[in-house]
Amino acid sequence: MKKYLIALFALLALPMAASAANYEEGKHYDVLPGQPTSEPEVVEFFSYYCGHCYKFEPIVKALEQGLKGTELKRAHVDFLYYVDRSTRKRYPETGKIVSRGFAVAQALKVVEPVSEQIYKRHFFEGRQIQSIDDLRDAFADAGVTAKDFDAAYNSFPVNSMVARMAQQTKKYGIRSTPSVIVNGKYKVNPSGLSESTNFTKDYVDLVNYLVTKKD
């Protein structure tokens, strides 16, 4: 009986082992230079100005619910910003304003309603954030008072989060969004799952594989 159970467990493990073996460096993930994090870590880099990031939100939700051994962290990049469509004039400062806005949303624990309001403005109403006043209005639509927004905007916790997001963006050489970095060592390559019939599940499985990957 004992031998039977051992054999059964071995057979059950085969699909998992085969699946893990199918993940390939250069196809499903890239290896980053530098030292990995001391603890498991998954960070998504995104921007409220990025349409692909808006479409990636269901994957974010799946990662938040399906990660094993760690929690999803998010970092807003500041290199994407408002561009006037008619004049093509660029406003790089808005990238920093909205990045700070994400930190404020984290500090006030209102990321979901604030994200909903900003994405709605950007991709459904054609009202991209162009100033701190616009950002404050988006927070108001999410139920945050102007007083609470202003108190948090330049607070120490928010300043720390903004600095950390900028440092991580530079450290990992983030140039496009959304980007997911695992353990400070692996960058997920979603194109490797282009033939998937259940992309969301397979993406979460790939990230979980990288979280526990031992070289």
DSSP 86-145: TT--EETHHHHHHHHHHHHHHHTT-HHHHHHHHHHHHHTS-----SHHHHHHHHHHTT--
Look at residue 32 and tell me if it is in a domain: yes
Task: Answer yes or no: are the C-beta atoms of 211 and 68 closer than 8 Å.
Answer: yes
Grouping H, G, I as helix, E, B as strand and the rest as coil, residue 163 is helix
Per-chain mean pLDDT for the chain: 91
Distance CA 141, CA 188 (A): 34
Look at residue 9 and tell me if it is in a domain: no
Distance CA 49, CA 14 (A): 43
pLDDT in tens, 42-74: 999 999 999 999 999 999 999 999 999 999 999
Look at residue 142 and tell me if it is in a domain: yes
Higher pLDDT, 1 or 84: 84
Name which of 4-18, 33-47, 114-128, 171-185 the model is least confident about: 4-18
Res. 199 pLDDT band, cuts 50 70 90: very high
Look at residue 5 and tell me if it is in a domain: no
Name residue 181's beta-bridge partners: 43, 187
pTM over 0.85: yes
Look at residue 3 and tell me if it is in a domain: no
pLDDT at 16 over 60: no
pLDDT at 4 over 70: no
Look at residue 48 and tell me if it is in a domain: yes
Task: Answer yes or no: are the C-beta atoms of 135 and 99 closer than 8 Å.
Answer: no
Look at residue 6 and tell me if it is in a domain: no
Grouping H, G, I as helix, E, B as strand and the rest as coil, residue 20 is helix
Distance CA 172, CA 174 (A): 6
pLDDT at 204 over 50: yes
Phi, psi (deg, nearest 5) at residue 26: 90, -20
Distance CA 108, CA 198 (A): 34
pLDDT at 21 over 80: no
DSSP class per residue in 148-162? HHHHHHT-HHHHHHH
39: domain CATH number is 3.40.30.10
Which amino acid is located at 47 in the chain? S
Q: Show the domain range for 169.
A: 25-212
Two tokens, residue 141: 């639509």
Higher pLDDT, 181 or 11: 181
pLDDT in tens, 123-150: 999 999 999 999 999 999 999 999 999 9
Instruction: Go through the chain and tell me how many residues it has.
Output: 215
Per-residue pLDDT, 214: 83
pLDDT at 158 over 60: yes
The candidate with the shortest Cα–Cα distance to 162, out of 119, 118, 105, is: 105
Task: Answer yes or no: are the C-beta atoms of 154 and 143 closer than 8 Å.
Answer: no
Look at residue 13 and tell me if it is in a domain: no
User: What total of structural domains would you count in the chain?
Assistant: 1
